[in-house]
Structure 1
Amino acid sequence: MNTSGFTPPHNLSSLRQLLADIDSKQAPIRLGGQSRRVLNAMLGTPEKVAVASITELAERHGVNASTLTRLAHRLGLSGFNGLQQLFRLELTGSPLHFYSEQASQLVREPGLADSGLPAKVGQQECSNISAMIDNLDPDSFNRAAELMAAAGQIRIYGVRQFYALSYFLGYALGMIRPNVATLEAGRQGIADALSPLQPGDVLLVTSCFPYTDSVIRTAEIARHHGIEVIALTDAQDSPLHKIASCSFCVPNRSLFYSNAMAGFFVLGEALLSEVAARLGDTAIVALRRREELISELSPLS
């Protein structure tokens, strides 16, 4: 089949039109009956597709998760995340719909707490962490750790719930090496916060869907000025993935009414541990110095 002129869909309108063209045999691609059935059902409930995991969707439509991945590739998309992104964009004419739709999962299923909600959330987080580890690229991981160990200066930027992650990363990395700070735009503005960084320095950014414009724009500007960008995000279709020198995708689907965070913290701990190993005695000296100061100040603590 000749698909040289085929343009993958970029939103749900173009996806619906493509399905109509497939049904009328006017499209340059073909789908099997099962794939057409599943895609048609997904288009009927875009709000559910936008917030569900690939496993949940597969179970809902009676197919294997691999079927959804193959469907996405057949549509010319990068994978399930690329397909889901079309539904998310439809959902977020107002990005705040993301959170209310996440919470509606809990409202639709009253009694979840009685049926083991803590266990379900825990299992989902464990699944997110396992998927992140399984898909972690060792070369990117090693390069990110080397950049964080060798850079003259490092700034870390995340907002909203990712501020907690950025603060943690800044604090922990500052324990083992100098010239690390959390970028806090509210205090001095993005330009002033970035201005000390030189080419070869590092900006580590964290954000996932629905992405924060200020984080994306800050990463773009930093990259333009020769600053190495490391991104902790959620998918290869993330705008940060396209900007960053090193990008890590952390699945974050769960019953929590916002983005699940456990996988991001685990990845952060792994990166910091690798940086400490690379710094070697330098990290140990820094930690011992900190321990001495803590001991001297202990009567004040």
Structure 2
Amino acid sequence: MSATSHSMTPTNVAELQALATSVRRGDTGALHLSPKAQQLLDALLAMPETVGLSNISRLGEQLEVNPSSLTRLARALGFSGFRAFQALFREDLAGSSFYSTRAERLLDFGQAPEGAIAQGAQDQALWQQEMANLTAAVEGLDSHVLQRAVSLIVEARHIHVIGLRASFGAAHYLAYYLDFLRDDVRQVSPLAGVGVEQGQRLAEGDLVIGLAFRPETRISVDYCRLAVEQGATLLALTNHPGSQLASLTDHVLLAPADGPFFFNPMTSLFLLVELLLSRVAHAMGNDAISSIRQREALIACLNVE
């Protein structure tokens, strides 16, 4: 590992992700890291919460590396040591809440009126926050980015949709209805026997739609990174502009997910999915109608209920 200048030292996790991408591509003037150091950096970026909360010894045990390797990597990246490197992850976590923290806030009756109306007040607060997320999603949409996303979906040769854990439902919804509109749509899911090795078949002209909310699933991030390295285009649907998926592509749609839920609210993500489906159907015109009718005829023929 060769040390980088302090002027190049990342000041936040998003910059660190961009640096890792530059190193991986071997960009001119990029920091040089050994293959093992690159793998270690990628592993750390894939588990930001663990990095922010663990001491160096425990983190070394989890990654099966000597703590000195973490220190050397931090210094190679321009930091004075591991603690300075770890501070990036802790600052990033300060802007978001862990599931347990959200649950504590949700159950904190001291912030709600006492008595019989307390539960109703909490329900009202949840509803208002979901409305705020929907409003933020719509107001934050860049019409050019959305239209470009639609064009990518319409023009792609093959489409792979990946979203795991909490994002699985939205990924399935998107893949299922996209398959009504056009051919060559596949949902990537280990549960369905379609694993990450499918990414090796992607190439230029193909599209991967990645859905992931922080904390992001490592399999999803790795799959999307592999697809990009194979030449495919990535469309990311995520809840944070500094997410790992967002660092891999210029095509990003944000679904705000703030609120007192102990889990990530998904309403805004489903809104983005429905907007995409609606616009794709409109862009395809009669071809979309013909494709839907063929699917309906097949369903009727097979007596699918």
- Tell me whether the two structures share a fold, i.e. TM-score over 0.5: yes
Q: TM-score, normalised by structure 2?
A: 0.66
Q: Which position in structure 1 is the counterpart of 2:274?
A: 269
Q: Which position in structure 2 is the counterpart of 1:241?
A: 246
Q: Which position in structure 1 is the counterpart of 2:107?
A: 107
SS in 1 for 2:245: helix
Q: Is the 8 A contact 1:233 1:247 kept in 2?
A: yes
* Distance in structure 1 (CA, Å) of the matches to 2:278 and 2:120: 37
Cα displacement (A) at 1:282: 0.8
Q: Structure 2 unaligned runs (5+)? A: 1-5, 14-87
SS in 2 for 1:195: helix
Q: Which position in structure 2 is the counterpart of 1:89?
A: 93
Q: Which position in structure 2 is the counterpart of 1:98?
A: 98
Q: Is the 8 A contact 1:91 1:98 kept in 2?
A: no
Cα displacement (A) at 1:188: 4.1
The residue correspondences of 1:200-219 to structure 2 (distance < 5 A) are: 200-219=205-224
2:179 to 156, 174, 178: 174
The residue correspondences of 1:3-152 to structure 2 (distance < 5 A) are: 9-10=11-12, 86-89=90-93, 98-109=98-109, 114-152=119-157
Distance 1:85 1:138, change over 3 A: farther
Identity value in percent = 28
Cα displacement (A) at 1:86: 4.8
Structure 2 letter corresponding to 1:241: A
1:161 aligns to 2:143 (yes or no): no
Q: Structure 1 unaligned runs (5+)? A: 12-83
* Distance in structure 2 (CA, Å) of the matches to 1:294 and 1:190: 30
Cα displacement (A) at 1:277: 1.0
Cα displacement (A) at 1:125: 1.0
* Distance in structure 2 (CA, Å) of the matches to 1:215 and 1:227: 15
How many residues in Structure 1 have an aligned counterpart in Structure 2? 223
SS in 2 for 1:198: coil
Distance 1:152 1:7, change over 3 A: closer
1:194 aligns to 2:187 (yes or no): no
Q: TM-score, normalised by structure 1?
A: 0.67
* Distance in structure 2 (CA, Å) of the matches to 1:153 and 1:7: 38
* Distance in structure 1 (CA, Å) of the matches to 2:166 and 2:182: 25
Q: Is the 8 A contact 1:234 1:249 kept in 2?
A: yes
SS in 1 for 2:160: strand
Q: Is the 8 A contact 2:200 2:230 kept in 1?
A: no
